[in-house]
Amino acid sequence: MEFHVYESARAACEAAGVLIAAQVTRKGDSVLGLATGSTPIPAYEMLVQWYERGVIDFDRVRTFNLDEYVGIDHKNPLSYHAFMQEHLFSKVNLRPENTHLPSGHSAEAGLRYDRAIHEAGGIDIQLLGIGRNGHIGFNEPAKDFTFGTHVVTLTQDTIEANARFFKSPDDVPRQAISMGIGNIMAAKCVVLVATGADKADAVYKTLCGPITPQVPASILQLHPCCVILADHEAGALVERESR
């Protein structure tokens, strides 16, 4: 695993944008795995700027997002569908039929999503944030690693962390549909961005701890092409260990 630490959160996120832009430049019909949350926003801002300046072209790019809440209308501004529209889809020349987010709350919905990823040729580069408890997508700490796209019940910690976007914690959906660990591990390249002190423990366990479904991101130690981009706050415990 590659690990890079940056002077600022913004620089760590923009570095992820660089890797995605390089992928799209190398292969015009790339399949991008995309993430929501506050962390990747600067990466999307960079991609939009480079698109506007004619540096990158999304005409043939396909995208698959990691996850979506269950029971939230896609037009709800707090849905991940709306997030992606706001931060990327409405601002670049991605074709609507080439953008995908999981939706629904059945096993069949998960299987359909997995099939669509497979038919697109698999994900070339997967962007990830990380939860305070080490979750990726909405793969929460659990007894086992999951394989494909599935419905999850969110942990209390995740509900509390995501409550900042909603009026109150009671409004945060309790369930989500998420790509599984198998989908993420099948991506040809994975880029995880972590910023802020509240991610330091998760980053440390991801890089230096045992591989365990209790810290879902720790499985990335086995990925052949994974890069973790952190600011000093999120990377603090790893940096201390390597001194």
Give residues in contact with ligand GLP (CB under 6 A). 35-39, 66-67, 129-131, 137-138, 158, 162
Burial 165-174 (b: 16+ CB within 10 A, else e): eeeeeeebbe
For ligand GLP, give the closer residue by CB, 23 or 65: 65
For ligand GLP, give the closer residue by CB, 67 or 231: 67
Structure tokens at 214: 């209790």
For ligand GLP, give the closer residue by CB, 56 or 65: 65
Q: Is 171 a catalytic residue?
A: no
Q: Is 67 a catalytic residue?
A: yes
CB of 238 to ligand GLP, least distance (A): 18
CB of 61 to ligand GLP, least distance (A): 20
The set of residues, in sequence order, having a beta carbon less than 8 Å from that of 154 and lying 6+ positions away, is 138, 140, 162, 172, 173, 174, 175, 176
Using an 8 Å Cβ cutoff, are 181 and 215 in contact?
Answer: no
Using an 8 Å Cβ cutoff, are 131 and 158 in contact?
Answer: yes
CB of 116 to ligand GLP, least distance (A): 19
DSSP states along 103-147:
--SSHHHHHHHHHHHHHTT--SEEEE---TTS-BTTB-S-SS---
CB of 230 to ligand GLP, least distance (A): 12
CB of 223 to ligand GLP, least distance (A): 16
Cα 228 to Cα 77: distance, rounded to the nearest angstrom: 29
For ligand GLP, give the closer residue by CB, 56 or 87: 87
For ligand GLP, give the closer residue by CB, 35 or 238: 35
Question: Which class for 38: exposed (0-12), middle (13-18), buried (19 or more C-beta within 10 A)?
Answer: middle
Q: Looking at 135, 139, 150, 183, which residue is catalytic?
A: 135
Q: Looking at 98, 133, 139, 183, which residue is catalytic?
A: 133
Q: Looking at 14, 65, 67, 223, which residue is catalytic?
A: 67
Q: Looking at 68, 114, 140, 233, which residue is catalytic?
A: 140
For the annotated catalytic residues, the residue numbers are 67, 133, 135, 140
